[in-house]
Amino acid sequence: MASTAVARVDVEIVESARLTTDAMSRSTSQQLTHWARIGREVEAAASMTPKEIAETLSGSTSYDQLNTGEQAVVRALWSEALDTRITELDYESRFRAEGRSYAELDERGHVVVRNSVRP
């Protein structure tokens, strides 16, 4: 278990973190910690410009050519982008709208086929 410390944080930042809790599946504290880690990595790789970060994220610059600090920044940003994409996925609604069946595991690990009907 990670140790914690009390810190003063601007109310605006706390409110922003609170607004993202549902979308990111994190508590306010977890979101603040996540943002702090990304900020730490960005500052550690201060030699990397926003343009270079964007080029690496788009694939036009090789990740392997970056130094370890720059790679850490890119990994943090990739992680953030993946977390966002995962929280936006809603295949159940999509399949329902298309009238498609789908399979999922129930809480006991058994396969359940859901038959969707167009609304």
Mean pLDDT of all residues in the chain? 82
Phi then psi for 114, rounded to 5 degrees?
-100, 125
Task: Please name which of 35, 71, 37 lies closest in space to residue 52, comparing C-alpha atoms.
Answer: 71
Q: pTM of whole model > 0.75?
A: no
Least confident of 13-17, 48-52, 104-108: 48-52
Do residues 116 and 98 make contact, with C-beta atoms less than 8 angstroms apart?
Answer: yes
Do residues 100 and 116 make contact, with C-beta atoms less than 8 angstroms apart?
Answer: yes
Q: Evaluate if residue 111 carries a pLDDT over 90.
A: yes
Return the higher-pLDDT residue of 95 and 3.
95
